[in-house]
Amino acid sequence: MKQLAYIVLAALFLACSNGTEKKSVPKKVESTEKESNKNYKIIGYAAGYEDYDFSKIDATKLTHINFAFANIVEGKAAFELDTDAAKIATLIGLKKQNPDLKVLYSVGGWVWSDQFSTMAAFESSRKKFAESCVDLLKEHGFDGVDLDWEYPGQRAEDNIFRPSDKDNFTLLLGDIRKALDAQGKKDNTHYLLTIATGADQAYINHTDLENAHKHLDFINIMCYDYFNGWMHQTGHHANLHPSEKDKYDVNSGVQAVERHIKAGVPADKLVMGIPFYGRQWAKVSSTKDGLYEPANEGGIIVPYWDIVEKIKSGNYKKGYDESAKASYLWNATDSIFISYDTPKDVQLKAKYIKEKGLGGAMFWEYSLDKDQELLNALYKNIK
């Protein structure tokens, strides 16, 4: 990555933009699973830049692992960290635990999405990139490619963007799909192609998901970071439902899913993202519990394992927004507010995934969990 500080920001790759559209309550879903015997996906991202031993990953509780990230270098997909090759080999080796495990690599992310727009703007460069995706896949033995372009047609982290990104993104996916299928025919296998999408209406407006999804096996919706590092106000960063306390109606998981379905994506192709981290605001001005209050700093990322330790300190009071189905912590002494997911929140999201007939769940990121607490809750309730 460009620098270590920016690498940490790559966790934001699963950062959703914040919509401000008028609040609408999604239609009530059926009370029973649409397919009781459905093989739901559990997709875990594994960040290569984290100081974590990938051999500790419990592959028996996962269907897919997405290794993050590859960059775009001279128009080609490429790994740039010295440790990438060894970590990738470890991930591929996890198939000894779970022979059905699929391992993909993800290109882009919050920091490394700066080359997508220019590369996707021309037919020759799209095909060059598509061929490089296949070459990289074959070199390491991956089962597929995941694109995390943040964000087509929109400003993100020092990224180039243009109005034509909307159509070029679909063309790019088509070229990669063709290249993967051509190689798959030779290898007598099907190589996966997936993307990570933003959760807000702006992402929907700047993409053509109705046609793009036809090239994809499934879509991972980044259902978190609704309130994030850009916002000097506290709020839920991964609430399942709209909050009655949020006068701006920033976002929610059910709204994100409904937007994708309305855009033309089949429900069973949608995978709901779940964060294994929270957002922490310091210097919060509040006389209550810190929720939806101004802060002097933006919300920084805090791993779930760190949140567990903070709770043990006894300095934080637990809060719960019933309308949003979202948990939070408030430290009145130090004026610190934290939005995060508990095992209970994960359980409710798993229930929603089944009721809505979605394809499964994705989470960012494996090393941020605490003794598999969140993963166990997801696996138990979705499998």
Q: Which region, left, alpha or beta, applies to residue 22 given φ > 0 means left and ψ of -120 to 50 means alpha?
A: beta
d(C-alpha 184, C-alpha 131), whole Å = 13
What are the tens digits of pLDDT across the range 26-55? 444 343 444 444 799 999 999 999 999 999
Indicate whether 357 belongs to any domain.
yes
pTM: 0.91
pLDDT tens profile 107-118: 999 999 999 999
**Half-sphere exposure at residue 25, Cβ-oriented, CA atoms within 13 angstroms:** 6
pLDDT of 3 higher than 80: no
Please check whether residue 232 is in contact with residue 271, taking contact to mean a CB–CB distance below 8 angstroms.
no
Helices then strands, counting H and E runs in the chain, come out as 11, 14
Residue 294 in domain: no
Average pLDDT score, the chain: 92
- Evaluate whether residue 322 is within a structural domain: no
Interval 159-203: pLDDT, tens: 899 999 999 999 999 999 999 999 999 999 999 999 999 999 999
In a domain, 301, yes or no: no
Asked if residue 307 is part of any domain, the answer here is no
Reported confidence tier of residue 158, pLDDT bands at 50, 70, 90: confident
Residue range(s) defining the domain that contains residue 60: 4-275+342-382
User: Within a domain: residue 349?
Assistant: yes
Active site residue 30: no
Integer angstrom CA distances of residue 194 from 66, 176, 221, 255, 262: 10, 11, 11, 21, 19
Instruction: Look at residue 327 and tell me if it is in a domain.
Output: no
210 occurs within a structural domain = yes
Q: pLDDT digits over 253-312, tens only?
A: 999 999 999 999 999 999 999 999 999 999 999 999 999 999 999 999 999 999 999 999
Give residue 369's Cα distance to chain centre: 15
Q: How many CB atoms lie within 10 A of CB 298?
A: 16
d(CA 233, CA 374): 26
From the candidates 150, 157, 293, 365, which is the catalytic residue? Answer: 150
Number of domains in the chain: 1
- Distances, alpha carbon 207 to alpha carbons 37, 113, 213, in Å: 33, 15, 11
Q: For helices 84-93 and 123-140, give the axis angle rounded to 10 degrees.
A: 60
CATH number of the domain encompassing residue 193? 3.20.20.80
